[in-house]
């Protein structure tokens, strides 16, 4: 089981579907899929973490708001994936180790 303080090798493939989410293929062949809302509400940036720590949502859909989508994505060295959202939020960098932890305890099986 991967823990947040473990070292994780960067994935062999990262596929970003701006309308659906992110699919990551890890070195061991595990394929992990992350939906847009899952990624957005769990944004690891300091502002979103602070909101969650106060019991507030980091993000929630609001009436009249365009559907959530990824506006831009970039690899951040061998460290993680940076996502910019169409709601204007651009500070979330998702470390590989966190994404691997989110894959769950059976991180050797397809998610």
Question: What pLDDT digit, counting tens, does each position of 31-41 carry?
Answer: 999 999 999 99
User: In this structure, is residue 36 part of a structural domain?
Assistant: yes
Looking at residue 6, its pLDDT comes to 66
Instruction: Express as a percent the part of the chain with pLDDT over 70.
Output: 87
Per-residue DSSP letter, 54: T
Q: What is the mean pLDDT of residues 33-60?
A: 94
Domains: count for the chain: 1
At 65, the pLDDT band (50, 70, 90 cuts) reads: confident
Q: Is the pLDDT reported for residue 4 higher than 80?
A: no
Global pTM value: 0.85
**How much of the chain is in helix, strand and coil states, percent to nearest 5?**
20, 30, 50
SS3 label, residue 94: strand
Give domain status of residue 1, yes or no. Answer: no
Q: What range does the domain containing 64 cover?
A: 13-102
Instruction: Please check whether residue 6 lies inside any domain of the structure.
Output: no
Which among 97, 95, 100, 90 has a CA at the least distance from the CA of 77? 95
pLDDT for the residue numbered 1: 57
């Amino acid at each position: 089981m991967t823990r947040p303080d473990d070292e994780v090798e960067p994935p062999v493939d990262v596929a970003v579907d701006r309308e659906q989410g992110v699919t990551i293929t890890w070195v061991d062949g595990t394929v992990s899929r992350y939906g847009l809302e899952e990624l957005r509400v769990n944004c690891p940036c300091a502002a979103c973490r602070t909101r969650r720590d106060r019991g507030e949502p980091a993000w929630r859909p609001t009436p009249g708001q365009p559907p959530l989508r990824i506006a831009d994505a970039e690899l951040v060295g061998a460290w993680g994936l940076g996502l910019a959202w169409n709601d204007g939020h651009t500070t979330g960098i998702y470390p590989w180790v966190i994404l691997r932890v989110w894959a769950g305890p059976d991180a050797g099986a397809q998610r």
